Amino acid sequence: MTEGKKKIALVTGANSGIGLELTKKLIENDWEVVALIRSGFPEEEQELQQKIHQRIIRIYRTDLSDFTKLKSALEQIKELEPKLDALFNNAGGSFPELLFLPQGRELHYEVQTVVPYIITMELLVLLKKGSPGIVIQTSSDAFRFRKTFEPEELAKPKKFQKLTGPYTSTKLAITLWTHALAPKLKKEGITIISVDPGNNNTMRKGRNGGLPLLIQPFIRFFGPHPSVGAGRLFAGLERSPEDAGLYFSKGKAIEYKFKQHASQVLFQVGTIYEKEFVPL
């Protein structure tokens, strides 16, 4: 293909787990990948290292929880990339404890709910040049087991539970603001959806993250390879504007609770963006 004809996808967390497998799948299907990551791609992934050398994969390094560094990386992307046909807000994970950032908010909320909104807003200019632009959010079916949801506690949770605590509440939160924002983006020609990649085995040696001890052996021995989750995210590219705002699990649009809080969550992340990120 000639320069500028290939489709371009930005993937956060592109260098490990589901993001790494998604990057491979995109490359296999003749996409170029803009990788927004903190550390590099594994050296043993020689084919990907070759694609980096060929600039088919282009790396922009940042710490997603540091707004100053994130702003710098996003400015570079806007300056150097011609367009984005897809944005995968994929980075995140289940952390082993409550971790509060200098800006006062909890890490799960910042990385899995707030930052995807910032990235989406900042890169709208490139997505509008896509053909057509689509945003795919990595969600989780784990939130469907939640009995309560308090939007005002997202930034400062009162208690911590592995997997079922801040991890699920913030995955629900991104799914909610996706639902609330979708009509506005649809008018601008951009489709936004959220997708559950499933319980993939993304455990790394010496790092079990925030998985409860009882679940770890099950995920290690029975959890599907991250390529399964990557395939589900990749399939989201086939969704049409009629699917805007929907949440997909195993290829089907699924209903979920707490939609009455969608506009409040959107207001919260929008306020952080406008008051803290934009003035930087």
In this predicted structure, what is the pLDDT of residue 260? 98
- 122 is a domain residue: yes
Give per-residue pLDDT as tens, 241-279.
999 999 999 999 999 999 999 999 999 999 999 999 999
- 138 is a domain residue: yes
**Structural domain harbouring 159:** 8-277
In this predicted structure, what is the pLDDT of residue 203? 45
Lowest mean pLDDT among 123-132, 140-149, 157-166: 157-166
- 245 is a domain residue: yes
- Determine what percent of the chain is predicted with pLDDT higher than 70: 89
Give per-residue pLDDT as tens, 26-47.
999 999 999 999 999 999 999 9
Q: Residues 157, 166: contact at Cβ < 8 Å?
A: yes
Q: Which of 262, 272, 64 is nearest to 174 (CA)?
A: 262
- 119 is a domain residue: yes
In this predicted structure, what is the pLDDT of residue 1? 37
* Crossing angle of helices 262-272 and 115-122, rounded to 10°: 70
Q: How many domains does the chain have?
A: 1
CB atoms within 10 A of CB 249: 18
- 71 is a domain residue: yes
Three-state DSSP class for residue 264: helix
HEC string of 83-142 equals: CCCEEEECCCCCCCCCCECCCCCEHHHHHHHHHHHHHHHHCHHHHCCCCCCEEEEECCHH
Question: Residue 202 pLDDT > 90, yes or no?
Answer: no
Structure tokens at 50: 């070759």
| pTM for the structure as a whole | 0.91
pLDDT band at 159 (very low <50, low <70, confident <90, very high): confident
- Amino acid code (one letter) for 62: T
In this predicted structure, what is the pLDDT of residue 200? 58
pLDDT band at 140 (very low <50, low <70, confident <90, very high): very high
In this predicted structure, what is the pLDDT of residue 97? 87
Give per-residue pLDDT as tens, 207-244.
445 555 555 554 455 566 899 999 999 999 999 999 99
Residues 18, 19, 23, 24: what is their CA dihedral angle, to the nearest 10 degrees? Answer: -30
- 3 is a domain residue: no
Q: Residues 44, 50: contact at Cβ < 8 Å?
A: no
- 1 is a domain residue: no
- 2 is a domain residue: no
Give mean pLDDT, residues 119-146.
95
Q: Which of 163, 165, 60, 178 is nearest to 113 (CA)?
A: 178
| Cα 61 to Cα 235: distance, rounded to the nearest angstrom | 27
Q: Residues 268, 154: contact at Cβ < 8 Å?
A: yes
Q: Which CATH number fits the domain that encloses residue 138?
A: 3.40.50.720
